[in-house]
A and B are shown apart, each in its own frame.
Chain A
């Protein structure tokens, strides 16, 4: 069955970097756009980034633009989120989600998330 599993979260100091990974299985990875969505503790959902199926196009929320990048390795069925210049407000549970439909924006399969805590 379709599955995505995130990893790489942890506690990091402000200004430092962290890379999250998301391993996909159960579907043809290189035919789907992939998204990152985050959820701060006790808060709602915030879309973070989208990468197209072939990796040629990436899009970001204004809150992370210029600090975060996303990439994918189809040989490993893996999605990445490189987070630089981390801030306290980036503390959240980060989900990867498969995108379907218009703009790859209907998020039909989600992982359990990986927790990022930015704190000194």
Chain B
């Protein structure tokens, strides 16, 4: 199985900041990397698919990059609604696997 490792596990930032979350795969997954946002008590929401494609309706403040084994999610101009937990997930091979999550908190 492909292991997905996110860093950091938690992150404190202020409204207006720019933050980057990293996701590393245990083997190459090409561009088959997705990012999800989960707010407390809510279901996850797809933000970005295949590394860098923004889901329709998602703010352009979210962006993704990477290929192979190393990927990043960047959120610019943080807004109050962005404080949540973020998960990466590989869809390159079954079983699909998620990172452990990064909790983004307000400083």
Nearest to A99 among chain B residues (CB) is B91
**Whole-angstrom CA separation of A27 from B96 in the bound complex:** 23
Q: Which of A35-65 contact B (CB under 8 A)?
A: 35, 37, 44-47, 50, 59-62
- Interface assignment of B101: CB less than 8 Å from any CB of chain A: yes
For chain A, give the interface size range: 20 to 34
**Whole-angstrom CA separation of A62 from B95 in the bound complex:** 8
**In the complex, chain A residues whose CB is within 8 Å of the CB of B38:** 45
Quick check: A59 and B92 within 8 Å, CB to CB? no
Nearest to B45 among chain A residues (CB) is A110
Query: How many of B's residues come within 8 Å of A, CB to CB?
Result: 27
Nearest to B98 among chain A residues (CB) is A45
CB distance from B101 to the nearest CB of A (A): 5
Quick check: B43 and A108 within 8 Å, CB to CB? no
Q: Which of A90-117 contact B (CB under 8 A)?
A: 95, 100-103, 105-113
Quick check: A44 and B43 within 8 Å, CB to CB? no
Known: A44-B101, A45-B98, A102-B32. A95 touches B44 (CB 8 A): yes
| 29 chain-A/chain-B pairs, Cβ below 8 angstroms | A44-B98, A44-B100, A45-B98, A45-B101, A46-B98, A47-B96, A47-B97, A60-B95, A100-B49, A101-B49, A101-B50, A101-B91, A102-B92, A103-B96, A105-B34, A105-B89, A105-B90, A105-B91, A105-B96, A106-B49, A106-B50, A106-B91, A107-B36, A107-B89, A108-B49, A109-B46, A110-B43, A112-B42, A112-B43
Given contacts A44-B98, A102-B32, 18 further A-B pairs with CB under 8 A are: A37-B44, A44-B99, A47-B98, A60-B95, A61-B95, A62-B95, A95-B43, A101-B49, A101-B91, A102-B50, A102-B92, A103-B94, A105-B91, A106-B46, A107-B44, A107-B46, A108-B55, A109-B46
